[in-house]
Each structure stands twice: as structure tokens, then as C-alpha cells.
Structure 1
Amino acid sequence: MTSRPLRKLGFLTIGLFDEADPRRGHESTLEIIELGERLGFDSVWVRHRHFQYGISSPVAVLAAASQRTSRIELGTAVIPLGWENPLRLAEDLATLDVLSGGRLNPGVSVGPPMRYDEVKDALYPASADTEDFSYERVRRLLGFVRGEKVTGFSGVDGFEVFSDRVQPHSPGLGKRLWYGGASLGSARWAGENGMNFLTSSVVKAEESEDFAEVQLSHIRAFRAAHPDGDRARVSQGLVVVPTDSATPEQRAKYLEFAQKRLPRTASPQGPARMMFAPDLVGTSDEIAERLHAHAAYREVDEVAFALPFTFDHDDYVQILTDIATRLGPALGWRPGGS
């Protein structure tokens, strides 16, 4: 089987910053997003981190980005809903989508917040032991975003006018919600609920210990359950680092980064048996060859290549430029494709 021509090219960033100068890090992220638009990328995605030195408020960052760009799609990969009130988040997402002109692609996931025992008293002081972190939390968000009634009242009360659903309502946003899943069950659930599916460099080893085979099974299970079948949207997010225009020092840094992370890819990790994909470092031609040989990549025509966490601004400029001008075309992508 041959790969589909790449239709949508995106990238993912964590938006690191220095605690002593957080503005500089956030400004760097916004500059990288602007660069992505100039290079022709179809989408940019931001990670979500709490109590770390990465983006903690993707809605705020993307709202700023929406005013500095005009075309590139803006995504979250992903917002962990365990930290969120779905009703309030629905308002924020709809507002951002309106401000961006309908360019938002919100990606979400469920489950208890990371290190929950240490944050639960601050996050949910009155309800920590009764909060529901199941798929029901996503279902609520879906309903709110898609315009389901929230209250039993609408109309005028005195001088104020009230709606019975979330405002603003952005009609197309409901079709642009993504679920970030690493298991077969989450892939099926996302399909059954008409979402799009984000699959990354981390999957759960349930039926195999071959990363590509596991990821392929998730993609197929998602599409089998989705009303759109084989047309249902899937985006793959591997860590990809082309070295075509890199300096010798950058190449050495990239190879060292990948080498340090390679041992974790040899076998499933931890009680959850999580599997990690190897980082793809090399020339664009070398990376394209490896992707064409990847069973899961051959099933998709959208990607959001992940930028490594700890590199410098100039490194990201070089990597993104090589992806857009060399790797993308090698994968059949053209700027402005549909």
C-alpha cells in the first residue's frame, strides 16, 4: 500500500518559557506561529501544561495568535478536560473561533488531572472526590459547543436578553472538535461521537507491541465507528526533525536529543504499557522514506509534526523551514492544498 499524498501540514509546539521572563517565551511562540503561516503551514497546534513552564492557557495564546495571522488554522493538542468546566470552556472556545474567523480546531482529552492528589484540593476543594473524569465530560462539551440547550429559559428579563444556549454560538466549531486518544477505546468513542481524531507519538500497547501496528488499529477503529467512515479526519503527530539546512552544531544537538529518548521506544513503559514512537531525525528525504514505510502514516493525509520540547527559537525556525520547503513537498504536500 502506498501513502496518500499529504493534504494538510501542521506542527505542534509546547511554548516553553523561562520563569524569570515568561513574556519572551510567549512572544517566541507567537513569532513561530506567524512564521508557520508565512511558510504555508495549514495548521499550528499548541500543547497544554499546568504548573510547568509551557502554555497553561492555550485559548489566551491562540486568541493573540488569531490577531497576528489570517489563514493558518489554530489547534489545541490537547486541552485535558479534567482541569476544565466544560460549559465555561465552550464559551471560551466559541469566542476564540469567532475572533479567528472560524479557524479553531480544539483538541481535548479526558481522565484525572496529572498529579491529581497534589492539586485536587486547590482545583476542586468541594468536589474533588466526586468529579466525573469520564467521556461524559467530553460529551457535555460537545453538546454545549454544538448548540444544545443549557437552560430552560430564554428571552427578556428586565432590560437583559438571555439565550438558552452558549453564546456566542459558532456554527462550524462543532465539526472541528478533536479527541486526542492513545487507546483503542478512545479511538472508537471519538468515532461514535462524530469527532476528529488526533493520534500522537504515544499509544497504549493493548493488542501489539509494534507502535505502527497499534496506531494503525486505532485509526481504523475510529473510522469504522465514525459516520463519515474512511473520510473521517485523522491527524498524526510524530516528532520530526529534518536536518537539511541545520548547522553541524544543530545536527549534533538533534541526534543527541533523539538518542537519549530512544531507549523508551524499545518496549511498553509503566503500568499503562505506553509505547513511544522514535523521533525521526535526518534529511527530509530520509524522513520521508521512513514515513512512507510507516503503516499508520500511510492511512492519513493530515499531520501535526511535533517540535521537540527543549530546543531554541532558531532551531525551530530551521526545522519549520525545512519541513515546509523540503519535507512537505517530499510527502506530496503543496501550500494551499485542499
Structure 2
Amino acid sequence: MPLPSEPLRKLGFLTIGLFDGADPRSGHESTLEIIELGERLGFDSAWVRHRHLQYGISSPVAVLAAASQRTSRIELGTAVIPLGWENPLRLAEDLATVDILSGGRLNPGVSVGPPMHYEQVKHALYPDTADAEDFGHDRVARLLDLVRGEPATAFSGTEGFEVFSDRVQPHSPGLGGRMWYGGGSLRSARWAGEHGMNFLTSSVVKAEESEDFAEIQLSHVRAFRAHHPDGARARVSQGLVVIPTDSATADQRAKYEAYARQRRPRTAEPQGPARLMFAPDLVGTSNEIAERLYSQAAFREIDEVAFALPFTFEHDDYVQILTDIATRLGPALGRPAPAANAGDRPR
């Protein structure tokens, strides 16, 4: 098995937080319990996806605010907030507030581009400005400036009994250094590096100069670091779907293999007009998954991961998968195993 030059430094996981539309509370509660479990199992970070007008987390900042009060150590991230749905100033206020409440554990990940199904939703989202909205990188730049404490207004001081600030309040000084960009193209990787952000690379990339997923992802990692002030020390986190089966039941293994098999055809060639390439889901024992990860050049150049939990599985499946990642896969990647009984707690 090929080995990296250094062991895995940060082990994280990502969940979409699915729920039943007729009973949304239980799904959100399950997500919070999974984050609590992640902390007990020794994960360094827990990340939530962002889904609008779907049965997944639509307000990750609110969910992570709740998670911040039920955990004490684990970092909390968004992967990612699509900024086309957001006002950067209001989002900056929310992010700073949750970072303060969490004790400086928030890792906001963002992306750009028009909202999904924009033609159908634009009149509800931007009834007066739909055709004037800019969904490019300038939207991220505005958010970065506001989070980092740049002035939002020319006015400050006292008016009557009220005191006004010229920058977003509360201001969380360390948050600007924990902003992440979720990118799948060379242009995005370069932009994130030039603007001093951290970089999230996931299981979806654009086939620009190659049709080999690992080769594409490696080019993004290197382009990002080549344009970042910190160079080779710039933070990159890789997110792939991994499903260890070490402690899975026979029924769970059959379910996981069927899930991966159903999604495999999309990994064979670029998909759609955007020529998106998808990484295969990794199903097997932790040693098998570790060997497949180490065979990828991009994985060998990073030391942080946020492994994605599959869609549509049950709570007990996620408990098994997270437990195996922490106790089996993590050690196979150079991470110490958690303390005995760290994950034991009835739901």
C-alpha cells in the first residue's frame, strides 16, 4: 500500500441532513445526534450540506447554531452555502454570531453561481432584481470583506441613545481565516488561492483538461496552492463518499453495494453540458478503502478530509459508518483510534 508523507491530520464528515416533509423535526434531530456522535468518536469536524426547496437542510447556519450548543470541541462547517441564495451582509452577521456562540469553531464553506432552477425560483427570490443579480466571484469577495471587518457603511457613532458600528457586528476576528471555497474548476481553485481562502474539493469536478477524476482533482489542488500566499501549507480538504463495511450487517452491506452500483454509471464519462466528472463511491473494508485512497495522487497531497455520508440511508446506518470511519478507517490513514466506548450512547 502506498503511504503519504504524513498521516491524516484532520478527519471530518459531511451530511445532507435529510428529513420527512411530514415530520421535519425528527430528521433535524437525527442530524444533531450524528454531530454529537461525531464529537464523541473524535472527529475533528462535522459539515452540513445546503439544500433549498428540498427535504434536506435549508438553513445550515441555524442547524450549526443548535449543534454549537450541544458540542464543545468539534469544528462545524458548511459544504457549501450557495451564495446565489444569500445577501452577503446578512450572511456575514449570521456566520459571525454562530462563530461567537461556538467559541470559534465555525468553518463556513461557500460557492457561487446562479441558484438551481433559477428561472423557476427567481421571482420568489429576487422579485425586483432577478436580472441584475451578479452570481460571480464578486459575491464571495463582498462576503469575505464583511466577515474580515471591512466597513459596510460610512456611518458610525451615536444617534440618540443608539450606538452604530461601521462594520458587521458581532465581529469574530478569527473567522476570516476559516472561510472555505467549494470549487470544481481550475478557475475556482486559482481564485480561492488568490483570495486567501481554504479550498474544499469534493466528489464532483469539471472535466477541463482531462477525463480522469483523480488527475483533475490533483490539478485543482496544485493550482490552488500555487496561487495561495501560504503555498504548500494552504489548507485543502477532500470530500469523497466512503462507506466502510467492517461492522456492517449483511443487509447493510447489500444496501451499500446497491447504492454505489446505481451511481457508478455517472463516473464513467463527463456528464451534461458542464462536463462534470463524479468520483466513484468507495465501499469495502477500511483497509480496502485506505488502499484505494492512497492510490489517488490528490489524496496523497492533502491531510484533511470531510468524508460524505451517502444520501437516503437510515440513522443506524450512519452510526455504523461513522463508527467504522473513526475506529477503523481513521487509524488505517494514520489517525489514532478514539478512546474505548467513545461512541456509546443510546439514541
Tell me whether the two structures share a fold, i.e. TM-score over 0.5: yes
Q: Report matched runs for 1:87-98 at 5 Å.
A: 87-98=89-100
Distance 1:211 1:144, change over 3 A: same
Q: Contact 2:328 / 2:337 at 8 angstroms: preserved in 1?
A: no
- Per-residue CA distance 1:261-281 (angstroms, 9 max, x = gap): 000000000011000000000
- Per-residue CA distance 1:94-153 (angstroms, 9 max, x = gap): 000000000000000000000000000000000000000010000000000000011111
**Which residue of 148, 152, 155 corresponds with 1:153?**
155
**2:113 aligned with 1:111, yes or no?**
yes
What is the Cα-based RMSD across aligned positions, in Å?
Answer: 0.8
Shift of 1:154: 1.1
**2:34 aligned with 1:29, yes or no?**
no
TM-score (norm 2): 0.96
Consecutive unaligned residues of structure 2, counting only runs of 5 or more, are: 339-347
1:38 aligns to what?
40
Q: Contact 2:12 / 2:46 at 8 angstroms: preserved in 1?
A: yes
2:207 aligns to what?
205
Q: Secondary structure at the match of 2:78?
A: strand
Shift of 1:298: 0.4
Q: CA–CA distance in 1 between the matches of 2:127 and 2:152?
A: 25
Q: Secondary structure at the match of 1:156?
A: strand
Q: CA–CA distance in 2 between the matches of 1:310 and 1:214?
A: 28
AA paired with 2:150? E
Shift of 1:335: 6.3
Consecutive unaligned residues of structure 1, counting only runs of 5 or more, are: none
2:83 aligns to what?
81
**2:260 aligned with 1:258, yes or no?**
yes
AA paired with 1:14? I
Shift of 1:2: 3.9
Q: Contact 1:59 / 1:93 at 8 angstroms: preserved in 2?
A: yes
Shift of 1:209: 0.4
**2:69 aligned with 1:101, yes or no?**
no
Q: Secondary structure at the match of 2:132?
A: coil
Q: CA–CA distance in 2 between the matches of 1:72 and 1:295?
A: 28
Shift of 1:333: 1.2
**2:279 aligned with 1:277, yes or no?**
yes
Q: CA–CA distance in 1 between the matches of 2:334 and 2:194?
A: 31
Q: CA–CA distance in 2 between the matches of 1:36 and 1:2?
A: 26
Report the count of equivalent residues.
336
Q: Secondary structure at the match of 2:321?
A: helix
Q: Contact 1:41 / 1:335 at 8 angstroms: preserved in 2?
A: no
Q: Contact 2:327 / 2:337 at 8 angstroms: preserved in 1?
A: no
AA paired with 2:176? G
Q: Contact 1:42 / 1:335 at 8 angstroms: preserved in 2?
A: no
AA paired with 1:157? E
2:345 aligns to what?
none
Q: CA–CA distance in 1 between the matches of 2:129 and 2:156?
A: 29
Q: Secondary structure at the match of 2:173?
A: coil
Shift of 1:334: 2.5
- Per-residue CA distance 1:222-247 (angstroms, 9 max, x = gap): 00000000000000000000000000
**2:142 aligned with 1:140, yes or no?**
yes
AA paired with 2:262? K
Segments ≥4 residues shifted beyond 3 Å = none
2:164 aligns to what?
162
Q: Report matched runs for 1:281-296 at 5 Å.
A: 281-296=283-298
**Which residue of 217, 221, 224 corresponds with 1:215?**
217
